[in-house]
Every structure is written in C-alpha cells, then in structure tokens.
Structure 1
Amino acid sequence: MIKKEEVISFTWQHILLLASLYVMTFGVAACVRSQLGSSVISTIPYVMASAGKMLDYIPRWTIGGYTIMMNAIFVVLQILILRRNFEWVQLFQLAIGFIFGMLIDLNMVLTEWMVSENILVNALVQIAGCTILGFGIAMEVKCGSVTMPGEGISIAIHKVTGWPFPKAKIRVDITLVVLAVMFCFLLLGSWKWEIVGIGTLFA
C-alpha cells in the first residue's frame, strides 16, 4: 500500500526536477546567446544545428532537437557499457532528455533579447548563464531523481573502469568538446569560437 506521504514526496521530487531542468536550460540558452562559447553539453548540438542551416544533407533541427538525439545516444551507450548491470528504470532518462531538449528550444526563444555585439555584455551574459546553469544542476542533484543522460554516461564509465566519477565526467566533457571542434572543421570549415570558446572552458 502506497502511503500518502510517499505520493506527496514523489510528486514534489519531480516538480523540483522539472523546475531544475528549466533553470538548467535557461542557463544553457544564456551561454549560447553570449556568443563566447556554449556549455559543454550543447557544443555538439550547436554545431549540428548551425550546420543544418548551411548544408542540405544535415537535418535542419534546433539545438534542442539535436540535444534530444544526443541524450538518446547517451542512454544507448549506457546500455552497451553496463549490459546486465543497466537499471531499466534509467530508461526514464529518455523522457528527461526529451524534456531537456524541448526546454532548451523554449529558452532559446525567451533569451533572444540577450544577443549583443558588446563584448562586456556578452561576458556578463556568459557569467550569468554559467551561474544559473550551476544552480540548476544543484537543484537537479538535490531532487534525487533519475540522472541526466550526460551524467548517466559518466556514471556508467565510472562503474566499468573504476575511474573516480569526477575524472570520468571530465573525460566525457573533453571528448564532447573535441568532437564538437572536429565537427566544426568538417561541417563548418573552421573552428567556431562562438560555439566552442572561452565561455565553454568557463562553463
């Protein structure tokens, strides 16, 4: 028999999760608007979305659309890495990844006013975006629900290799940034500093 308190706790836990996703994606969108480099999780989606506007053979998806696809790939990789040890409740990450991508697109619309040619303004937007993103991540961790796919893949690598989670996370982030730079050269012809720049390192 499910107790009333458990239902209330579960409800508030996931309300907090949704709120944290909104805060995180607002921070992500602000980092993109700074034109100084997006947050790590958005580098590849940003490259692909930019390429889609220029190349006929790349789908014209939004940053949020490519984020949804990347999160789905993360979940598939977790299954391949963990195999029998994969907890099937973690498939809920697919729903979280979908909501995360949709909220990025929503906040990309809501942050259009942040675009500026002033480098000082852009720096302030980047700092604000990173601060908001960090606050959102803290909220997400506190809610104690299913992890984000980006963290899930790092946890899977940590479990299999024995690397400490921080090191696994850093290596995943570095891999994403390196891939984003490679895609910049392959699809856009050069390193795009507004996609992978000083702001990415700061984030």
Structure 2
Amino acid sequence: MKTKGKMSIRLLCYFGGMLIMTLGVAVSVKSVLGVSPISSVPYTITVVSGMELGLTTTIFSIVAALLEIPILRKKYKAINLFQIPVSIVFGLFMTFCVKLVQQIPDPSSFVIKLILALISTVIVAIGVFLYVSSELIPLPTEGVLIAITQVTSLRFATLKVIGDVTMVIISLGTCLIVLHAFGSIGIGTIISAILVGNVVKILTKYFKSALNKAMGL
C-alpha cells in the first residue's frame, strides 16, 4: 500500500507539474512579451498559422519524440513511445490553460505585462521542478536531448542551452520573415531563459529532499 501511495504522489507530481508548466506558458502568452524558449516554436506556429497552441504543442512534441528513433537506432527502447500519449496530454493541458487564462483581462500597461512575465516564469519553474522530480517519462523536447547524449559525448546541460538557443533562433527568424515582427520572442523569453533554471535550483535546494522522501526516491 505504501508503494502504491508513493507512486500516486509521483504521478501527481508528474502530471501536476506538466499542468502547472502549461499554465505558466499560457500566462506568458497573455503577457505578450514573449514565451519561454521551449515553447517558442509551437507558439510561433500558432502565431503564423492560426492553429490552436495546444495542437501545435502536441504536433511539435510528437515530432520530437519520433526524432529519437533515427537518433538512437538500435538503442531505441519501446518505452520511449509512451512520450507520444504524454505529448497528447501535454497538448490538452495547454489548450485548457490557454482558455483559462483568456478569462484574465488583457494587460493595459508594460508594467502589468512585465509582472505577468515574471509570474509565468515562477509558475513554469514550479512545474518543471515537480515534473522532473518525479523521474518518470521525459517530455519529448527533453527526451530528444537525452537521446543525443546517449550517442555523443555532449552533456545534457550543454545540449539544453544549445536546444533553447536553436529554438529561439528558429522562432525569431520565422517571425521576422513571415510576420516582419518579433512574434513569439521578446523580453519575456529572455527573462524565462535566465530565471527558470535559477528558480528550479532554489526549489531543488529547499524542497527536493522532502519531495523525494514523499515519493520514495
């Protein structure tokens, strides 16, 4: 019974963390100052095509999940396929949170927009902390980086930076070419890139031990 209880806590942290992450992204969209690097490509597709953000997030995630197959080849494990249904759940969470945040009045000044951007950063960090701490199936955007670490000598932290920078460049280039505007990239993107990791470090320092104990890790 204790084992089932601890697994329930892990699942709660896993899916709860993903839900909180998507809420943070939705708040960053409301701020109109740019989304986090990891969501920049899906949001750029939304801005350019008009498709719903939850749908573009799902498509982007599934493509990332499938990229692991040619990267890992014989090292690819069937359990990685679970990233596809996880992608669908993540996309549904995004749809729900975007609709939820739409109920908030649009910010009327730069100060309010900046406050929303900062709040979104903290929310995303809390979600990332809970989701990562569960040590369950990674989201495809991280899974593809983990796959690359398995076939190269590059560290995950290094690839994470490279991946974030690459997505921002792709998003910025697309928005400038198609929309002649920054689109999904802005000061909020920079704030997120700088602060999310640092907030996660703080949460890890003060809460990781207790959370691990509750999850039986």
TM-score (ref. length: structure 1): 0.88
Query: Are 2:105 and 1:108 equivalent residues in the alignment?
Result: no
Deviation of the 1:52 alpha carbon: 1.9
**Residue 115 of structure 1 aligns to a residue in which SS?**
coil
Partner AA of 2:107 in structure 1: S
Give CA deviations for 1:2-35 in whole Å, capped at 9, x if unaligned: xx44443333321221111111111111111111
Identify which of 27, 34, 37 aligns with 1:37. 34
Equivalent residue, structure 2, for 1:174: 165
Cα distance in structure 2, aligned partners of 1:27 and 1:145:
21
Equivalent residue, structure 1, for 2:67: 77
Identify which of 43, 48, 52 aligns with 2:45. 48
Query: Are 2:114 and 1:117 equivalent residues in the alignment?
Result: no
Cα distance in structure 2, aligned partners of 1:117 and 1:158:
44
C-alpha RMSD of matched pairs (Å): 1.5
Give CA deviations for 1:147-195 in whole Å, capped at 9, x if unaligned: 111111111122222111111011111111111112213332x1325x1
- Given that 1:158 and 1:164 are in contact with CA atoms closer than 8 Å, whether structure 2 keeps it comes out as yes
TM-score (ref. length: structure 2): 0.83
Equivalent residue, structure 2, for 1:67: 57
Equivalent residue, structure 2, for 1:159: 150
Give CA deviations for 1:68-90 in whole Å, capped at 9, x if unaligned: 00001111111111111122212
- Given that 1:32 and 1:39 are in contact with CA atoms closer than 8 Å, whether structure 2 keeps it comes out as no
Deviation of the 1:114 alpha carbon: 5.0
**Residue 191 of structure 1 aligns to a residue in which SS?**
coil
Cα distance in structure 2, aligned partners of 1:191 and 1:149:
29
Give CA deviations for 1:50-70 in whole Å, capped at 9, x if unaligned: 2223xxxxxxx2111001000
Identify which of 1, 12, 15 aligns with 1:15. 12
- Given that 1:75 and 1:91 are in contact with CA atoms closer than 8 Å, whether structure 2 keeps it comes out as yes
Query: Are 2:132 and 1:141 equivalent residues in the alignment?
Result: yes
Partner AA of 2:143 in structure 1: G
Give the 4+ runs in structure 1 shifted more than 6 A. none
Equivalent residue, structure 1, for 2:175: 184
Partner AA of 2:190 in structure 1: L
- Given that 1:114 and 1:125 are in contact with CA atoms closer than 8 Å, whether structure 2 keeps it comes out as no
Name structure 2 gaps, 5 residues minimum. Answer: 193-217
Equivalent residue, structure 2, for 1:200: 189
Partner AA of 1:178 in structure 2: I
Give the number of equivalent residue pairs: 191
Question: Quick one: structure 1 residues 90 and 5, their matched pair in 2 at CA, closer, same or farther if it must change by over 3 Å?
Answer: farther
Name structure 1 gaps, 5 residues minimum. Answer: 54-60
**Residue 168 of structure 1 aligns to a residue in which SS?**
helix
Identify which of 94, 97, 102 aligns with 2:87. 97
Cα distance in structure 1, aligned partners of 2:65 and 2:84:
7
Percent identity, please: 26
Q: Which of 129-138 and 32-41 deviates more? A: 32-41
- Given that 1:26 and 1:133 are in contact with CA atoms closer than 8 Å, whether structure 2 keeps it comes out as yes
